Structure 1
Amino acid sequence: MPLSAPETDRRLIHTRAIEMQGFARADGLYDIEAHLVDTKTYAFENMDRGAIPAGEPLHGMWLRLVVGEDMVIRACEASTDFAPYAVCPGAAPNFSALAGVSIGVGFNRAVKDRVGGSVGCTHLRELLAQMATVAFQTIGPLKWRKAREEAARLKEAGLPPPGPIRKLPIGSCLAYAPDSPVVARHQAAMEE
C-alpha cells in the first residue's frame, strides 16, 4: 500500500537513490555492494565543479564489503564518481580500515572509530548500517539452509542435531516481539 496522497501540490527538489545488492562469490565469501546517487531537479553553482545541471549527480558513490559467513569484513573498497568538492574522493581509500570488523553488536561504533569524522565520508558511512542488513539478508538464508541440510543429514544417520539452526532476533521489531505468533511459529519449527 503506498502512502496517502499528498495534502497539497508539490515540486520534486532532491532525489537520493540507493541500490544495494548481495552476491555469493565463487571463493565462499560474499560481496555486499551499495551505490548512492544524489540529484537535484534544478541547476546550481558549485565551488569546485562550477555549474551542475539539473539531474547531474551531486554525489555518486560506491561501496563494497567482502564478508565471510562469520560476518567479518575481509575487505572494503569505496569509490567516488561525483562529489561536491575535489577533496572528497580522498576519503574512499580510508574505508579499507574496515577490514577485520565484525558485522553485529558494536558494528556502528567500530565504523565510527575507523572511518568517522574527518577521515571518512558521511554519505559512505551512512550506507554501512544498511549494508550490514543486506549482509544478513544475503548470508543468513544460505547459512541456515546449509545448517538445515546438515541437521537432516545427521538425523538420517541417527546422530543428534548440532543445536539450534538460527537465533531469532527476539525483541528487534513487531514481528519478533517475544509474544508474537511469528516467534511462536519459528520456535515450533525449530523444535521439529
Structure 2
Amino acid sequence: MLEKRKGEKIHIRDIEISTYTCDVEGIIVEGILKDDRLTPYYTIMGESKPPSTIHHMIIRMLVNGQPLTIQDIEVEMPCSPREQCRETMEFLNSIKGMTISSGFTEKVKKTIGGNKGCAHLTTLVISMAAAAVQGFWSYYARKPISSDKVSLGIIKQHLVDTCWLWRKEGPFITTFNELSNKS
C-alpha cells in the first residue's frame, strides 16, 4: 500500500477555486495556485534556497452568458521564481472572449501554452473552467430553475458525456429528454 510507503513531505501544490456573485450579470471565478517547497533546495541555476513558496498566482475571471464566456480577466503574481515570470501575466488577456465549452482546454493551450505563456497560469485557467461551470450552476440554482432557463442545448454543452452519470445513453439524459418533450 502506497500510503504506508510515504516518507517526508517535500512539496505542496494547492489550487483553490472560488466563485462569487458580481455587481453585474455573471460570476467572478477566482483561482489561486500556490507551490510550497518544504525542504531546502537548489534552483536549476545552482542557487541554494531555504524552504519557501515558489509560486503564488491569482487569476480572476468575469464569466457570463450562454455559452459561458470569459468577459474580463485579471492576474496577480505575489510570488514567482523569477521576475521575468511576471511578463506572462498580460498574455492572459488573449483569452478574453473565449467560450468555456467543448475544446476549451485545447484552445487555451494553443493560445497561452508552451512558450506563449506560463505553464502554471495555463494549468490554473484550465482548472478554473470546470469550476466556472459548477459556479455558474450554483449561481442559477440559488432559486428554483425554470425549464426555459435549462435548455437541452445547455445540458448538451456542459453535461452530456462529461462522465459516466451524464453519458448520452444514461438514465439522467434519458429522463431529461423525456421531461423536455413533455413541456
> Scaled by the length of structure 2, what TM-score is found?
0.81
Q: Which residue of structure 2 lines up, in the alignment, with residue 122 of structure 1? A: 119
Quick check: which has more Rg, 1 or 2?
Answer: 1
* CA shift for structure 1 position 187: 4.0
**Aligned match for 1:183, one of 173, 179, 182:** 173
- Conserved 8 A contact 2:16-2:31: yes
Matched, 1:81 2:78: yes
- Which structure exhibits the higher relative contact order, with contacts defined as CA atoms closer than 8 Å and separated by 6 or more residues? 2
**Aligned match for 1:167, one of 147, 155, 160:** 155
Instruction: Return 17-26 or 179-188, whichever deviates more.
Output: 179-188
Q: Which residue of structure 2 lines up, in the alignment, with residue 157 of structure 1? A: none
* Residues 80 and 9 of structure 1: CA distance in aligned 2, closer, same or farther (over 3 Å): closer
- Conserved 8 A contact 2:29-2:132: yes
* CA shift for structure 1 position 110: 2.4
* CA shift for structure 1 position 174: 1.2
Aligned amino acid, residue 88 of structure 1: C
Quote the Cα distance in structure 1 between the aligned partners of 2:146 and 2:17: 29
Aligned pairs (5 A) from 1:45-124: 45-46=42-43, 51-54=48-51, 56-70=52-66, 71-124=68-121
Q: Unaligned 5+ residue runs, structure 2?
A: none
- Conserved 8 A contact 1:144-1:166: no
* CA shift for structure 1 position 107: 1.6
1:25-58 Cα shifts (integer Å, max 9, x gaps): 021122111001111220224478x65322x211
Structure 2 counterpart SS, 1:11? coil
Quote the Cα distance in structure 1 between the aligned partners of 2:50 and 2:176: 52
| Amino-acid identity (%) | 21
* Residues 134 and 6 of structure 1: CA distance in aligned 2, closer, same or farther (over 3 Å): same
Q: Unaligned 5+ residue runs, structure 1?
A: 152-160
Quote the Cα distance in structure 2 between the aligned partners of 1:96 and 1:179: 39
* CA shift for structure 1 position 177: 2.3
Number of residue equivalences: 179
